[in-house]
């Protein structure tokens, strides 16, 4: 496997479907942020109230992911180790345990990745719509283990 070659081929393919160099850069920034986020882990420690408190370990991963996401490490850590509940007009901040924080981290990574995937599908579909010229076609796209088949009439 040649990672450098596959990277160049991916960039070429993204460009071929009309994705700008700036957007390609942002795609890789978002993917990198998700990968770094996966390296953030949590440890429980006892605070003064004898209630379990959780904090992030892997500070480099936290800092890098925060930078790539456009936030501060402190804000990212706070969002990962607490849950804010609004009920009856009041806001309650609840501290999470390590398992809950890891589940929240995974949910955040999945949501970011899903939004990126959805954006890519829209961009690729828009690119195909531009070149369809009023033809009817069937298209199959394979991404990882997901296969999408689209039968469509395309009007230019």
Q: What pLDDT digit, counting tens, does each position of 18-61 carry?
A: 899 999 999 999 999 999 999 999 998 776 554 568 899 989 99
Q: Which residues of the chain are under the pLDDT cut of 70?
A: 47-52, 130-156
| Three-class secondary structure of residue 95 per DSSP | strand
Residue 109 falls inside a structural domain: yes
Residue 153 falls inside a structural domain: no
CA distance readout (Å), 103 to 4, 34, 81, 82, 108: 33, 14, 10, 12, 9
| Closest C-alpha to 79, from 56, 51, 52 | 56
- For 69, residues 6+ apart whose C-beta sits below 8 A from its C-beta are 33, 37, 76, 112
What CATH number has the domain bearing residue 14? 1.20.120.720
As a residue count, the chain comes to: 156
Q: Torsion angle of alpha carbons 102, 23, 70, 107, nearest 10°?
A: -20
With beta carbons less than 8 A apart as the criterion, state whether 54 and 43 touch: yes
Residue 74 falls inside a structural domain: yes
Q: Which residue has the tokens 């981290």?
A: 105
Residue 84 falls inside a structural domain: yes
Q: What is the pLDDT of residue 1?
A: 87
The domain total for the chain is: 1
Residue 151 falls inside a structural domain: no
| Three-class secondary structure of residue 34 per DSSP | helix
| Closest C-alpha to 101, from 113, 83, 74, 75 | 83
Residue 23 falls inside a structural domain: yes
- For 43, residues 6+ apart whose C-beta sits below 8 A from its C-beta are 54, 55, 57, 98
Residue 83 falls inside a structural domain: yes
Range of the domain at 76: 3-130
Residue 118 falls inside a structural domain: yes
With beta carbons less than 8 A apart as the criterion, state whether 83 and 96 touch: yes
3-class DSSP string for 121-136: HHHHHHHHHHHCCCCE
């Amino acid at each position: 496997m040649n990672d450098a070659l596959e990277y160049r081929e991916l960039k070429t393919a993204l460009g071929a479907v009309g994705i700008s160099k700036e957007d390609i850069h942002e795609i890789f920034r978002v993917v990198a942020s998700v990968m770094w986020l996966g390296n953030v882990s949590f440890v429980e420690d006892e605070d003064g109230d004898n209630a379990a408190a959780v904090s992030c370990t892997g500070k480099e991963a936290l800092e890098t992911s925060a930078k790539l996401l456009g936030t501060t490490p402190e804000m990212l850590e706070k969002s990962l180790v607490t849950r804010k509940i609004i009920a009856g007009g009041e806001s309650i901040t609840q501290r999470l345990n390590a398992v809950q924080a890891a589940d929240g981290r995974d949910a955040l990574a999945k949501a970011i990745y899903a939004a990126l995937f959805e954006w890519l599908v829209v961009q690729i579909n828009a690119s195909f719509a531009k070149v369809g010229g009023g033809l009817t076609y069937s298209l199959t796209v394979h991404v990882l283990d997901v296969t999408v088949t689209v039968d469509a009439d395309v009007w230019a």
